[in-house]
Amino acid sequence: MELSGITVLDLSRLLPGPFCTLVLSDLGARVIKVEDLQGGDYIRYMPPLVNEYSSYFHLLNRGKESITLNLKQPKAKEIFLELVKKADVIVESFRPGVLKKLGLGFETLKAANEQIIVCSLSGFGQTGNYVHRAGHDLNFIALSGILSGTGVRDNSLAIPGVQIADLSGALYGVIGILAALIQRNKTHVGKMIDISLTASAQSLAVLSLAQSIDANSCFDPGYDTLNGKMVSYNIYKTSDNRFMALGIIEPKFWIEFCQAIDKPHLLHSAADSANKSEAFEEITRLFFSKTQNEWIEFFAEKDLCCEPVLYPNEVAYFSEKNLSQRIVRSDSDNVLVLSTPVSSKKIDDAFGPDLGEHNEKTLSEMGYNRDTIIELKDLRP
């Protein structure tokens, strides 16, 4: 596998860092979660729970190992630095400056292992006026320009169902780590990678930013080209209160669509405004004349950029049927398993590790005796 032999120390919690290391694990890296003794990763206990821990935790942390260390204690810090000597990558998501306060800043880590790669994920990056400001995904996408584009035609905004800043930051973290590993092969020197979740989300708003900056225009939620303005690129309700996503941009598909629905008079209406235009109202009535399943059947053999809007509990079946079981599957314990698209290994275990499950295994590998391992369990704040 691509990252076989690479060891990652994961100091992160919740979503961005664990998703970053999940991808690295799927690429073959050994990922060791280094957790505190007070419960570890906060997401462990967020409902719904499966076998004691959160289903979110299992999904994000399958295939990883867990050890517990109180990094405020000198002995635990000493052990962590010994781990650093044998590791390749550290992923952390503390607020900027926390690692340095713990005596584990980049210079200290580099002194222990000059080839270590440290990826820091934070809301606003390691520098700037917002460096110490608290925030979460909704705040980050608000400042990135993305949230303003989630509007509908009643001038209200909607919270996206996916954590865009968290996950884009995680993926940029993976990209930065892979690039640093390639560079290290040439230079034998590590690197500090600074990933801002807000900047990561902002980079995804490339089309809206280009429009508002280059064209000197204001983004108009619900009325922009790919945000509800076009009749041919819109969401339509079906008779059973489900939805179909019509995503036609190219004229050839619109021509075929009009032919398929037997409405040739709409051939020149693709770019018509969805703000009460006759074409929009006619297509709205058309989609509302059938159930979602009827439309699925109608478009099954037609390559016309029209797909059903699925609920999360329907995605697993769709993926297994249409995507070679690569994206999601449910095992016998009803745990949802996300197999990332770059995964090159078979998923044998759907569950995340118990807190400190691999203390003895990992520390024994480093030469520590059982007494020391037991002692570490009592090094609480």
Q: Hey, which residues are catalytic here?
A: 136, 166
Judge if the upstream peptide bond of residue 251 is cis by omega within 30 degrees of 0.
no
Whole-number Å distance between alpha carbons of 194 and 60? 22
Dihedral sign computed on CA atoms, order 332, 335, 341, 347? negative
Burial of 98 (0-12, 13-18, 19+ CB in 10 A): middle
The answer to whether 345 and 28 are in contact (CB under 8 A) is: yes
Q: In this structure, are strands 233-237 and 243-247 parallel, antiparallel, or unpaired?
A: antiparallel
Closest CA to 357 of 19, 102, 57: 57
Q: Of the candidates 231, 224, 227, which has an alpha carbon nearest to the alpha carbon of residue 274?
A: 231
Contact by Cβ (8 Å): 361, 65: yes
Q: Describe the strand order of the beta sheet including 233-237 as a list of residue ranges.
A: 233-237, 243-247, 306-308
